[in-house]
Amino acid sequence: MKEKAKAFAIKAHFGQTRKNSNAPYITHPIRVAERLQQAGFRDELVSAGYLHDVAEDTPYTLEDIKKEFGPEVARIVAAHTEDKSKSWQERKQHTINTIKEADKEIKYLIIADKLDNLLGLEKDLAEQGDRVWEKFNAGPEKQKWYNQSIAENMYSGIQTSDIPDYFSEYEEAVLRVFSHSSDL
């Protein structure tokens, strides 16, 4: 299932690039899925890691994912798929609400995704400086609010024994990326 999901995501994201580089977009879902795999999670969650942006950013739908990978993978992907018809603020508030209330597997996917995005942002800021923000729908102050809100709510409802190591890695990245500027 995982290899099929990886191949499907490669096909779906073909030709897309990351926001601040010419790197193929697929590098992001692959890193998210690999982080989930390394944490020892089940195949359905790892597969959802590969597919997490397909319905949001490609012509493929959640129904396509359900048909190819079953209702469980589609459910996990759907919980993390943004409604692009809504404003940036509405979409991000929805993700914050989801992270507060979702089951732990959905939290695992969201944080793996947000961590990879934040590590990429950190690298881009180091290489390109503040012009990086020009490619975002919201500036650094809103990005700080969003990432801090995710970090503050990601532990809600999860037992300590169920928290993967990369949750603390995300918290540390939020601090590194957003605490260096006193004007945020």
Q: Does domain 2-179 have CATH number 3.55.30.10?
A: no
Answer whether 32's CB lies under 8 Å from 109's CB.
Answer: yes
What are the residue ranges spanned by the domains of the chain?
2-179
What is the end-to-end Cα distance of the chain in Å, rounded?
A: 43
- The answer to whether residue 180 scores a pLDDT higher than 80 is no
pTM of the predicted protein model: 0.93
- The answer to whether residue 110 scores a pLDDT higher than 50 is yes
Catalytic (active-site) positions? 56-57
Residue whose structure tokens are 């590098």: 27
Answer whether 108's CB lies under 8 Å from 167's CB.
Answer: no
Percent residues over pLDDT 90 in the chain: 81
- Span 129-147, pLDDT tens digits: 888 888 887 889 999 999 9
pLDDT on residue 134: 83
Using DSSP, state whether 17 is helix, strand or coil: strand
- The answer to whether residue 18 scores a pLDDT higher than 90 is no
pLDDT on residue 183: 45
- Span 23-77, pLDDT tens digits: 899 999 999 999 999 999 999 999 999 999 999 999 999 999 999 999 999 999 9
Alpha-carbon span 84 to 128, nearest angstrom: 27
Give the burial class of 173: count Cβ atoms within 10 A of its Cβ; 0-12 exposed, 13-18 middle, 19 or more buried: buried
